[in-house]
Amino acid sequence: MNCPYCKKEMRPGWIQSRDALGWSEKKRAVPALAGLLAEVELLSATKAFYCPDCRKIVIDRDDMK
């Protein structure tokens, strides 16, 4: 994927979190202990592209689990 700002090739990689990633227009409170309550803790990983020159990360919404 090419960077939408400088048009150079972006570096593929992953955004990882203990919980699923989500987008919203407003910040929401997130329970701090939610991950500890699950019997099996799965690590969520979303494919992302990073441009080190522009310091931007691009995520395709369809790749978010």
34 binds Zn ion (CB under 5 A): no
Candidates 2, 6, 17, 20: give the one binding Zn ion (CB under 5 A): 6
Dist. CA 39–CA 49, nearest whole Å:
32
Q: Pick the binder of Zn ion from 2, 5, 20, 60 (CB under 5 A).
A: 5
48 lines the binding site for Zn ion (CB under 5 A): no
* 51 near Zn ion (CB under 5 A): yes
CA distance 47 to 63: 6
| Residues of the shown chain interacting with Zn ion in the complex, contacts defined by CB under 5 A | 3, 5-6, 51, 53-54
